[in-house]
């Protein structure tokens, strides 16, 4: 093995933590412990974010109001339940770069993808195809294919255009995405991509893709499950038509947390669009007249179906409060350093078996690095787990590691790299 010219040291990592203006946010989260009581090295905020310490207080407030007020809580709770979802609109809009009218929290991600496709996938004549990533997250594939079947009654595969990396490459090139869209202009009804790919960690150039889609006459939507709370987003200015995301990954709302939806202001008054309706999307001034004619609210709120889960929204508020305090620009600044440091340490291991498949250009990724370990099997990952690392393994040979700027430290990253180096040697 070649000689290391630079020996990464723990004290260097600890210095970075001392200089980190956001370091104190870690204390505002519960960090799971190993059997001997040490903090685990938690790198799965891309799967389930950690619990903010104040989440309990936010949920307990609602339990108390329900306990003491019963149904009156809809109006008399400390935060009345009737308009409760509005408390989340501004902080959520700030995270995704949207105007308040463009955002609502409701349902779960896949449900929202379906609701949005009902309105925004409108096949007509030759223009009937959907562009997705080959190997997109399974739920997205199932949702898209079942929408195709729903609209086309079979033969769904004929209406799908799947984007794949070039031979020998792991990630998509923006110019190839643009080319595919241009080549099929006139046939594409909808472009629906992830903002950040869950497997490779690649962040897409959403503004360019939205432009390419619109130039081809298509509607453009994004699944932001791995993007919301991870990378800076400017959905309004990028002119994205719609987007949906879950909040239990980087947004720390807890398992199965309530999801988010964006509908561009351009569509706020598109009452002509077909939609699957429910009473919570009805004009709130007349909702309780219980009229049989549906009158949707303006903007994203008009897509709501049901009166929403207050406990889920309370949990999300606890986390969004931290996002508002830290701010996405500062979180991104730290994230670039933290992930850059991880990349550097992986390089310093100097082991040819390790290949980072996430783009090396920081503007083309969020916090996650996907590490391919050649000729490995799951036993390496199991060794890491035994040593207190919580990361995740994706078949056949990829370990996904997501250092999250709100609660991961440079020390966490250093320890992980040390444990990986030791485990590869043994």
Ligand X SMILES: *Cc1c(COP(=O)(O)O)cnc(C)c1O
Where along the sequence are the contacts to ligand X (CB under 6 A)? 108-110, 137, 139-140, 194, 198, 223, 225-226, 246
Query: Do β-strands 389-390 and 219-223 pair in parallel, antiparallel, or remain unpaired?
Result: unpaired
In the complex, least distance from residue 177 CB atom to ligand X, rounded to whole angstroms:
17
User: Smallest gap, in angstroms, from Cβ of residue 398 to ligand X?
Assistant: 15
Q: Shortest CA distance to 87 belongs to which of 77, 95, 79?
A: 79
What tokens does 278 get?
């429910």
**Contacts of residue 284, Cβ cutoff 8 Å, sequence gap at least 6:** 297
Nearer to ligand X, 197 or 423 (CB): 197
Q: How far is the CB of 358 from ligand X (least distance, A)?
A: 15
Q: Which is nearer to ligand X, 140 or 301 (CB)?
A: 140
CB of 325 to ligand X, least distance (A): 25
Q: Which CB, 249 or 372, lies closer to ligand X?
A: 249
3-state secondary structure of 20: coil
Q: What distances in angstroms separate CA 1 from CA 96, 192, 344, 350, 414, one per listed residue?
A: 45, 45, 18, 8, 21
CB 205 within 8 A of CB 176: no
Smaller CB separation from ligand X, 194 or 281: 194
DSSP 149-183: HHHHSS-GGGGEEEE-PPTT-SS--HHHHHHHHHH
**Bridge pairing between strands 242-245 and 260-263:** antiparallel
Residue closer to ligand X, measured from CB, 223 or 241 = 223
> Nearest CA to 415 among 425, 403, 406?
403
> In whole angstroms, how close is the CB of 422 to ligand X at the nearest point?
31
Distance (Å, whole) CA 377 – CA 103: 43
Closest contact distance (angstroms) between CB of 368 and ligand X is 11
Structure tokens at 233: 């987003």
Closest separation in Å from C-beta 109 to ligand X: 4
| Beta carbon nearer to ligand X, 91 or 257 | 257
Nearer residue to ligand X within complex by CB, 172 or 417 = 172
φ, ψ at 204 (rounded to 5°): -85, 155
Comparison of 102 and 223: residue with beta carbon closer to ligand X: 223
Minimum CB–partner distance for residue 217 and ligand X (Å): 25
Looking at the Cβ atoms of 170 and 368, the one nearer to ligand X is 368
From first CA to last CA, the distance across the chain in angstroms is 14
Smallest gap from residue 140 Cβ to ligand X (A): 5
Give the closest residue to 133 by CA, choosing from 159, 169, 171, 167: 171
Q: How far is the CB of 289 from ligand X (least distance, A)?
A: 33
Among 339, 426, 342, CA closest to 387 = 426
Q: Helices (H) and strands (E) in the chain — how many of each?
A: 13, 13
Q: How far apart, in whole angstroms, are the C-alpha atoms of residue 11 and residue 414? A: 10
- For the bound state, the minimum distance from the C-beta of residue 257 to ligand X, rounded and expressed in Å, comes to 9
Residue with tokens 């303006």: 298
Residue 127 pairs with which residues in a beta bridge? 124
Q: Please say which residue, 246 or 420, places its beta carbon nearer to ligand X.
A: 246
Q: How many residues does the chain have?
A: 426
> Shortest CA distance to 119 belongs to which of 86, 92, 147, 141?
147
Q: Which is nearer to ligand X, 61 or 108 (CB)?
A: 108
Q: Please check whether residue 236 is in contact with residue 96, taking contact to mean a CB–CB distance below 8 angstroms.
A: no
């Amino acid at each position: 093995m070649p000689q290391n010219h630079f020996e990464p040291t723990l004290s260097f990592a600890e210095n970075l933590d001392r200089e980190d203006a956001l370091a104190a946010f870690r204390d505002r989260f519960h960090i799971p412990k190993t059997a001997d009581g040490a903090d685990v090295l938690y790198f799965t905020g891309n799967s389930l974010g950690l619990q903010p310490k104040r989440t309990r207080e936010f949920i307990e407030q609602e339990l108390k109001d329900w306990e003491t007020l019963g149904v009156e809580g809809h109006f008399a709770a400390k935060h009345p339940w009737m308009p409760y979802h509005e408390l989340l609109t501004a902080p959520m809009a700030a995270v995704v770069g949207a105007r308040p009218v463009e955002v609502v929290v409701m349902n779960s991600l896949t449900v929202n993808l379906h609701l949005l496709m009902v309105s925004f996938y409108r096949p007509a004549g030759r223009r009937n195809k959907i562009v997705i990533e080959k190997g997109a997250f399974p739920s997205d594939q199932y949702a898209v294919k079942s929408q195709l079947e729903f609209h086309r009654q079979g033969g769904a595969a004929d209406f799908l255009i799947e984007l794949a990396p070039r031979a020998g490459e792991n990630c998509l090139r923006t110019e190839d995405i643009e080319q595919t869209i241009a080549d099929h202009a006139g046939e594409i009804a909808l472009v629906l991509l992830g903002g950040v790919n869950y497997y490779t960690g690649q962040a897409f150039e959403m503004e360019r893709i939205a432009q390419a889609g619109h130039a081809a006459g298509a509607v453009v939507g994004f699944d932001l499950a791995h993007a919301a709370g991870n990378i800076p987003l400017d959905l309004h200015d990028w002119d994205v038509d719609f987007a949906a995301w879950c909040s239990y990954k980087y947004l720390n709302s807890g398992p199965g947390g309530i999801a988010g939806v964006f509908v561009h202001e351009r569509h706020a008054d598109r009452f002509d669009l077909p939609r699957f309706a429910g009473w919570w999307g009805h004009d709130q001034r007349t909702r309780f007249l219980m009229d049989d004619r549906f009158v949707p609210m303006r903007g994203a709120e008009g897509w709501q179906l049901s009166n929403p889960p207050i406990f889920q929204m309370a949990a999300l508020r606890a986390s969004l409060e931290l996002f508002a305090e830290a701010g996405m620009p500062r979180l991104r600044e730290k994230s670039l350093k933290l992930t850059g440091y991880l990349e550097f340490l992986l390089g310093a291991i100097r082991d040819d078996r390790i290949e980072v498949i996430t783009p090396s250009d920081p503007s083309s990724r969020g916090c996650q690095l996907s590490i391919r370990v050649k000729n490995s099997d799951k036993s390496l990952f199991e060794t890491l787990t035994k040593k207190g690392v919580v990361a995740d393994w994706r078949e056949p040979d990829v370990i996904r590691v997501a250092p999250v700027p709100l609660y991961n430290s440079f020390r966490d990253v250093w320890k992980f790299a040390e444990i990986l180096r030791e485990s590869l040697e043994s």
